[in-house]
Amino acid sequence: MEISAALVIVQKYGGTSVGTVDRIRNVARRVLATQRKGHDVVVVVSAMSGETNRLLGLAQQISPIPDERELDVVASTGEQVTVGLMALAIHAEGGKATSLLGHQVRILTDSAFARARIQDIDVQAIRKAFAAQKIAVIAGFQGVDKDGNITTLGRGGSDTSAVAVAAALKADSCEIYTDVDGVYTADPNVVRNARKIDRISYEEMLELASLGAKVLQIRSVEFGMKYQVPIHVRSSFNDHEGTWVVPEEKAMEAVLVAGVTATRDEAKITLSGVPDRPGVQAEVLRPLAEAGIVVDVIVQAHIQNGRTNLTFTLPSADLARAKDILLKQCAGICPPEQLKSEENLSKVSVVGVGMRSHAGVALKMFEILAKENIHVHLISTSEIKISCVIEGKYAELAVRALHDGFGLAAGA
Amino acid sequence: MEISAALVIVQKYGGTSVGTVDRIRNVARRVLATQRKGHDVVVVVSAMSGETNRLLGLAQQISPIPDERELDVVASTGEQVTVGLMALAIHAEGGKATSLLGHQVRILTDSAFARARIQDIDVQAIRKAFAAQKIAVIAGFQGVDKDGNITTLGRGGSDTSAVAVAAALKADSCEIYTDVDGVYTADPNVVRNARKIDRISYEEMLELASLGAKVLQIRSVEFGMKYQVPIHVRSSFNDHEGTWVVPEEKAMEAVLVAGVTATRDEAKITLSGVPDRPGVQAEVLRPLAEAGIVVDVIVQAHIQNGRTNLTFTLPSADLARAKDILLKQCAGICPPEQLKSEENLSKVSVVGVGMRSHAGVALKMFEILAKENIHVHLISTSEIKISCVIEGKYAELAVRALHDGFGLAAGA
């Protein structure tokens, strides 16, 4: 996308990009360079790296289960410090800027402290800054509820702040600065010839984000999709074009698979001989949900005599607790000898909007894995994604084989 | 003052009292103990000790002369962290509390960033906390202007926050917790038998505060005087009664001198042979004021031939700069050979409302100093105070001699 006329541009810089006084100065220069091209610029910043953990650590020392309203009061100071320093840095570089906190912009959220959702953003203060040729420096991660309480949006919430502000301003783009060059067809640490994706649809990015590509917070992509905000994921260390996350385009369908991704440290629990009656799945999963354990892939297969096998995956870290809960609370459904578990699993997935109109992607995936002698434990599919749960030690091999097999390699 | 019925009590804790997680816990217990006596309690807290300097240091690294609006955004986070942690600590001790920031209480100030003055305080949020049996934990030092900008009140501003909140609530008392037992007749580090003062008038406290007794910020005393708030200065390490700062009482007049105090590191400049014409003083002092140099005692003596000598004191740290300014900007009034200066001076003062109705206090002061062979350079008097500028090396001797001579010693 060529930038020519005056645009409204939102730029978001994470904790690493503002982690030191020198880095804050660098960001100030970048932001000013954008403004000097004639654009109206908003900068959304996170807390300096390490700061949020320091603050939460203090709270934790006082109370192991701290009140979330007060936790948000403490945690939100990290971003407040950064916006003040960033505005000072822009002044020091000869520019004009004004810092705006969640309650000053008025980023209105619900009252779910520590995981609040944005309901509305007032753009008046931002427009006023633009009118005065000022850069609006907005604190990410924070908002305010209707009673004036300070709220925070959850880890990584600054991405969501940035995209939401861009949506409210009808900005021309929302640039998310990070320490990588964009979104890749696979993790470049695993697949050496992984290719940077130039354009990807919101739907694909959502699947990749939730499947382990850590570039963007999921909710920020949902926001972008809902309000059609073009999101540009790019590096804060150079001026290269990154990856544009945009509405689905015709050209994207020609590509069968956009990316390959893998999650690690998955575990699997199988309950065999579960009575096959309505509601039995809920009886098993409710106590786990109440304990905050997130179950991922769920597969059920019929067997004979009115009994069935129920299998699901969960994070390895939760396995011991989950087994304990099931043995105590579901003993009637499943006696101990019928509960089996497995650890060190991985879920590899291929994602692409092209799958909608192409048959045979699943078949090709199984063939590729079979050729490497990788056993598939579980399968889960959506309209634009196929996931296979495999033994963890084969994860890298599987990702490389799928990446090659689907022709994603650079220059391929 | 015995506490019996339900009262409204404001307690203020400084940076040292909340300097660690353990100390925050201790304060939480103290505050809860007060509430459990049946009182409505407000706690006003400062930033954890060292935190404000850390924050200002970050800003200083970015810009040597930082924009004061942004500086206040950064600096005010110190108190924000403390109120959140304090509320968490009160919860952890089994109590109920809610933190309130300057903009949440609505501590309305003017827009003089870094030295804002409180204009109005809305007590609605505090009363709401009381109604819910909650302790209101208010961030000291900070306010908000009519446009929603964050402001700070200047160093030591939390004292002023506390007294102003107490005034707005018509509180029964405002307790200022510190690391000493109260206000003393002289600095206990200098005068071993200095006595804790039980009751002192606002006027006397104002003179003592501005003369070097660092217990209370001057503006907090002015606020207390204006709104007749009883201020109780006491230790956060024990339950002893401290010093009550209250409206003047009949009994106070019986005491000639309430306290003796000394400032250090004063310098003196004498301009001799200045033309004795109207406005000449202003011509000399204006350039100094414009450079932010605070001139204290000013004395002028007539000499012959229409020329006069002008002498004034100022902080030693400003002496070189002041001389430079005078030689450059007032060369016409006073050629270099007629400017003389002296350093290492001290101003010792005796303060007491009793002076108003007693003659001879000045005489007695000079006699006491003369007996110790201490030369008096300059004299300055007010209705309830006499100050003498002397050589700095005699400051402790002078304070001790005056403390004894006016019968202030414990048991005297």
pLDDT of residue A273: 85
Q: What is the pTM of this model?
A: 0.83
A92 vs B contacts (CB less than 8 Å): 62-63
CB contact under 8 A, B81 and A74: yes
Which residue of B lies nearest to A146 if distances are taken between CA atoms?
B104
Q: What is the pLDDT of residues B346-377, one digit of tens each?
A: 999 999 988 887 778 888 999 999 999 999 98
CA–CA separation, B249 and B245 (whole Å): 11
Question: B332 or B224, which is more confident?
Answer: B224
CB contact under 8 A, B88 and A62: yes
pLDDT of residue B334: 78
Which residue of A lies nearest to B52 if distances are taken between CA atoms?
A81
A25 vs B contacts (CB less than 8 Å): 62
Task: Reduce the secondary structure of A182-199 to three states and give it as a string.
Answer: CCECCCCCCCCCCCECCE
Cβ A410 vs Cβ A194: under 8 Å: yes
Rg (CA), chain B: 24
Look up residue A86 and give its amino acid: M
**SS3 category, A172:** coil
CA distance B34 to chain A (A): 21
**SS3 category, B74:** helix
CB contact under 8 A, B74 and A80: yes
Q: What is the pLDDT of residues B48-64, one digit of tens each?
A: 999 999 999 999 999 98
Q: What is the pLDDT of residues B27-86, one digit of tens each?
A: 999 999 999 999 999 999 999 999 999 999 999 999 988 999 999 999 999 999 999 999
pLDDT in tens, chain A (412 residues): 444 568 999 999 999 999 999 999 999 999 999 999 999 999 999 999 999 999 999 999 999 889 999 999 999 999 999 999 999 999 999 999 999 999 999 999 999 999 999 999 999 999 999 999 999 999 999 999 999 999 999 878 999 999 999 999 999 999 999 888 899 999 888 999 999 999 999 999 998 877 666 778 888 999 999 999 999 999 988 889 999 999 998 878 777 899 999 998 999 999 988 888 878 888 888 889 888 888 888 888 767 778 888 899 999 999 999 999 999 888 888 788 889 999 999 999 999 988 887 778 888 999 999 999 999 988 888 889 999 999 999 999 999 999 999 999 876 5
Residue with tokens 């109604």: B131
CB contact under 8 A, B88 and A63: yes
Which residue of A lies nearest to B64 if distances are taken between CA atoms?
A92
CB contact under 8 A, A70 and B88: yes
Biggest alpha carbon distance in chain A?
Answer: 79
Q: How many interface pairs between A and B have CB atoms less than 8 angstroms apart?
A: 109
CA distance B136 to chain A (A): 12
List the beta bridge partners of residue A381. A386
Strand-pair category, A107-109 with B118-121: unpaired
CB contact under 8 A, A81 and B61: no
Q: What is the pLDDT of residues B301-311, one digit of tens each?
A: 767 778 888 89
Name the interface residues of A facing B (CB cutoff 8 Å): 21, 24-25, 55, 58-59, 61-63, 66-67, 69-74, 76-77, 80-81, 83-85, 87-89, 91-92, 98-99, 101, 103-104, 148-150
Interface-testing mutation among B24, B72, B74, with chain A (most A C-beta atoms within 10 A):
B74
**SS3 category, B294:** coil
pLDDT of residue B3: 45
pLDDT of residue B213: 64
The partner residue sitting opposite A85, judged by closest CB among B59, B83, B148, is: B59
Is residue B2's pLDDT more than 60?
no
Is residue B171's pLDDT more than 80?
yes
Structural domains in chain A, CATH included, are 8-178 (3.40.1160.10)
CA distance A161 to chain B (A): 19
Phi, psi of B6 (to 5 degrees): -70, 125
Closest C-alpha among A106, A221, A83 to residue B67: A83
pLDDT of residue A360: 82
Question: B228 or A355, which is more confident?
Answer: B228
How far, in Å, are A44, A141, B14, B121 from residue B150 at the CA level? Answer: 19, 19, 21, 15
Is residue B211's pLDDT more than 80?
no
Closest C-alpha among B188, B219, B213 to residue B200: B213
pLDDT of residue B1: 47
The partner residue sitting opposite B58, judged by closest CB among A21, A76, A149, is: A21
Question: B378 or A130, which is more confident?
Answer: A130
Which residue of B lies nearest to A78 if distances are taken between CA atoms?
B77
Interface-testing mutation among B77, B105, B141, with chain A (most A C-beta atoms within 10 A):
B77
Which residue of B lies nearest to A87 if distances are taken between CA atoms?
B70
CB contact under 8 A, B21 and A77: no
pLDDT of residue B360: 82
CA distance B66 to chain A (A): 6
Q: What is the pLDDT of residues B287-297, one digit of tens each?
A: 898 888 888 88
Q: What is the pLDDT of residues B111-147, one digit of tens each?
A: 999 999 999 999 999 999 999 999 999 999 999 999 9
Which residue of A lies nearest to B147 if distances are taken between CA atoms?
A104
ipTM: 0.81
